[in-house]
Chain A
C-alpha cells in the first residue's frame, strides 16, 4: 500500500530536549516536505527536499533541521525545541516537481508535538 508514515504520532517533551520526527514513504517519490498546522494559520511549509541531498527552506524554517540521505526518508529535527513549536506536523511526498506539476501530494498521518 502506498503510504507516508510518521513517527511518533504523539510526543510530549520539554524545552531544549532534542528530538527527531521520522518520515518515510514507499512510493519512490523524489519530492518530500514538512508542514506544521496551527489553528487559524493553516498549513505552513517548514522545509522541502527535491531529491537526495537536496533540501531547502520553506516559509517557517527557524528552529528546524532536515536531512535527506536516502530517497525514502526525510526526518525533521528540532535541536532545541521551544513551546512555540507545539503544533501538528505533517510530512508529505509527491513525484518530481510535485507542486509545479499536477502530481498528487500524499500526506502522512501527522505528529502532534507538545513542548512544555
Chain B
C-alpha cells in the first residue's frame, strides 16, 4: 500500500532559527509531491508542488527538495517566524493516477517560540 511517512511528528524551535522537515514515501512511480501548510482549525494551503523530474522548489522562506531515487523529500524553513507555527503535510500523487487519488502524510506539527 502506498505510504507517506513524515518526521519528526512534532518540533519546537526558536524564532529566527532554521528547520528541516522530512518526508519518505513508497508511492512509485509518482507524478508529483506537494507540501501543504495547515494552521490549526483551517484547511491546508499549498506551499510547493514538484514533479518527479524536479529536485527543488522554493516559495519565499520555504524550500522543498526531492530525491526520487531515495524517495525522500524535505521542507526547509529559513529564518522561522511565529506565523510558521502550523502542521506541514507532505502529499504524493501516483503516476498515471486517473482517479486523482492523493496519499497524505500524517504531518509534522511545528511550533515556533519567541
Contacts and interface: CB of A to CB of B under 8 A. Distances in A.
A48 B100 contact: yes
A2 interface: no
A44 B43 contact: no
Given A42-B107, A92-B43, 8 more contacts: A33-B100, A42-B104, A99-B31, A100-B100, A101-B32, A108-B43, A109-B42, A110-B42
Interface residues of A, number: 30
Contacts of B101: 45, 48, 58-59, 99
B83 interface: no
Contacts of A106: 46
Interface of A: 4, 31, 33, 35, 40-45, 48, 50, 56, 58-59, 90, 92, 97-102, 104-110
Main secondary structure of the interface of B (DSSP, over half): loop
A74 to B, nearest CB: 13
B68 interface: no
Interface of B: 31-32, 34, 41-46, 49, 51, 89, 93, 96-102, 104-107
Given A40-B106, A42-B107, A98 B43 contact: no
B79 to A, nearest CB: 25
Contacts of B51: 102
B100 A102 contact: no
